[in-house]
Structure 1
């Protein structure tokens, strides 16, 4: 391995409901949906109107700011409904499956015989480009800006995170093919990070990458943590990021000529009767994913993890980039004098009337209670204990709030994404929405400085 990435600052949140390593293949459901909100900053222009018959891989819409970036249907069927919100904003594009999967044929390709521009055009035409995201700003990558490096984190450390070594087993050919293609799109290196002492990762024998071993608590698995230690971003530079499962979809495109949006996701959390893995197509209906598996009605369903995922309901759909569905108890009960008594069943970084530090390996069944109300920022120094980046988190949050672009630049906003502030938000005694604040700050920077 090239360089170990080791951190001491952070916090592992151990919860009940880890997925057991068994996989069930979900049959093709009746309805799927693609949500433009999953693609931050994209203004959709509809290509497939209601009633349009589509195959898997056919474009449903494109980005208004760049008509080359297409967003494909994950399944074959008919576009039955385009749900709109205020000012006719497109919220969902629903596709009714025809119960058989038919693919658009983009043609098999050998990346080793293609130029960088040919590979880029192929990824754009097939709808695979949205899988490539960038820093700064944590948005879909700009095809016109070459990255100085590409980062892939193959070790997730978020609560109840899926095991990529298990999910990606047997996908070595697809991974190598995708790596060969992406390597032509950068003059720099492709950095892949895996668990330091893991022996099952399919990336261990992949060529054209620089492999790193990860050690330490969450957020060592976050790409920003890895970028900061391996190849920090300076003003004017761009780094690309690809999720390991999306890498498989890209590789399969080159090998078969088909856009196959099938992936394995983890069902996790204490409110699932059987936490395990299932294979589904992107945009699958939540009610079909969770069918006969939820324990109670008083449950919060999250598309993603508990720190940075999105709340969904049973009539909702799986997020485009999400590899996990989490179900935990809804925290809608009031705890009388909860602020003034010892706490035994919750995680805390403080030792004041709390005892989680005595049992570092204990797993907790936490609910969604915030245990307090939003108030002004309180300077406690706690953020720095769980924030491993060489950045002042409190000062950066405040600079985003009062919209000081120069200060945001100086404090390192180019290197971060909202997920990097999920832990500081979790421990925040002021109950401030850190990820929302950072997202607004990054949007302001992109609009004003691009």
Structure 2
């Protein structure tokens, strides 16, 4: 039996180029890259060096602040490059894949007899722990703490997001194994949000099922946390992305770290939007140039969704946590008198010279133009219209900007993540970087409060 959660505040941004439910194998990537910047607040310490031959699932580096948290290679191959930045900061580790893939054997795991410490040690040693994240601070979970609950969102409501009902189909055994393991890591409940009863997650045992409906950000795990069990000072909850459960489950069932992931290639600049089977850290070019986007096209490639993803270059790599590659037109052209004439081809929450509210089901071909310049905050009430969390968005953003830790605590900073403010950033008439402001605020709290 599920508990229904209906979200009323929010905004569905309907874009052209949604991926069709057809699955293909991506061109096998020759190179794979691990970027420590994907793991926020982690200071990497190398285990391997250039020339080291590694198996898939073999550790490449670990977290300096906690040596037990290891990060492993997604493929078998040779480390050919370690890029460094200022003060010799590690920017990326590039691996050339071998023709024959070999896996590090972590051994099959007996969940029935395993203790909490044994499950935790197994996930840490095998490199699967980075898939477990925590609130507060939206960073990799601290294995030394015990969460009061674990949250999993199986409903993707972001624009052009991968359909999780499609990507998780046929993976019920892996999902159940992963959930059974996570259940041993908390004395609380495992809360799973789904968009429909057809979700592969809906049939799992040992979970509290919640049927989510409403506009984006209904599918954000932060919305689920806020509606079910908000995070107070001194409390910790953990979150795991739905597709990462498959990697966790396969490791437990087979002993192999299989970094395979189903990725949606979407966006109005894609000729044939569809799904690909690829691996974490693979070359983006192996997907976007096969019936995708023309070479030299003036587009922006995003690893992730259009609201909270990261921009990557055509020769870039799939983000560690992303399950969608979005390609939309680059909006760096100047629109003459753009704000003084009626607008029919853009989405806006305002009814001043904009008419998207007349046709809420229409899909748009939007580019990356911000349609305005950065300016001081303007109090419009727009944020509250699209922000469903029981938090004051304007006040918490300002508290982060002037670094008032007491006010940030009082306003609910412990339970938010940057992605929760992606929509307020989208509708912001002041063009303020909300997600960046929240990320810097969380980093300050992590440093000062811990």
TM-score (ref. length: structure 2): 0.99
Q: Matches of residues 247-326 of structure 1 in structure 2 within 5 Å?
A: 247-292=245-290, 293-295=292-294, 297-326=297-326
2:162 is matched with: 162
1:199 equivalent among 197, 208, 220 = 197
Distance 2:176 2:380 in 1: 47
Shift of 1:200: 2.0
Distance 1:157 1:242 in 2: 17
1:150 is matched with: 150
2:348 is matched with: 348
Distance 1:128 1:104 in 2: 13
- 1:97 equivalent to 2:88? Answer no
1:48 is matched with: 48
Deviations 1:266-293 (A, max 9, x none): 0000111110000111000111121231
* Stretch moving more, 22-31 or 265-274: 22-31
**Are the equivalent residues in 2 in contact too, given 1:341–1:353 (CA < 8 A)?**
yes
Distance 2:261 2:198 in 1: 19
Deviations 1:215-241 (A, max 9, x none): 110001011111111111111000000
2:119 is matched with: 119
2:332 is matched with: 332
Distance 2:418 2:202 in 1: 30
Distance 2:313 2:421 in 1: 25
Distance 2:103 2:110 in 1: 19
**Are the equivalent residues in 2 in contact too, given 1:397–1:434 (CA < 8 A)?**
yes
1:369 is matched with: 369
**Are the equivalent residues in 1 in contact too, given 2:27–2:286 (CA < 8 A)?**
no
Shift of 1:372: 0.8
2:209 equivalent among 208, 211, 222 = 211
Moved over 4 A (4+): none
Shift of 1:27: 4.2
Shift of 1:25: 1.1
Structure 1 counterpart SS, 2:314: coil
1:173 is matched with: 173
**Are the equivalent residues in 1 in contact too, given 2:375–2:430 (CA < 8 A)?**
yes
Distance 2:112 2:402 in 1: 49
Q: Structure 1: which 5+ runs fail to align?
A: none
- 1:418 equivalent to 2:418? Answer yes
Shift of 1:364: 0.2
Distance 2:126 2:298 in 1: 41
Distance 1:226 1:301 in 2: 29
Q: Structure 2: which 5+ runs fail to align?
A: none
Shift of 1:437: 0.2
TM-score (ref. length: structure 1): 0.99
Distance 1:49 1:104 in 2: 18
Shift of 1:436: 0.1
**Are the equivalent residues in 1 in contact too, given 2:154–2:164 (CA < 8 A)?**
yes
Q: Matches of residues 177-188 of structure 1 in structure 2 within 5 Å?
A: 177-188=177-188
Deviations 1:134-172 (A, max 9, x none): 000000000000000000000000001111111111000
What is the count of residue pairs matched by the alignment? 448
1:227 is matched with: 225
2:237 is matched with: 239
Distance 1:399 1:205 in 2: 42
Distance 1:87 1:359 in 2: 53
**Are the equivalent residues in 2 in contact too, given 1:28–1:100 (CA < 8 A)?**
no
Distance 2:320 2:283 in 1: 12
Distance 1:106 1:225 in 2: 35
2:394 is matched with: 394
Query: What is the root-mean-square deviation of aligned Cα atoms in Å?
Result: 0.8
**Are the equivalent residues in 2 in contact too, given 1:28–1:97 (CA < 8 A)?**
no
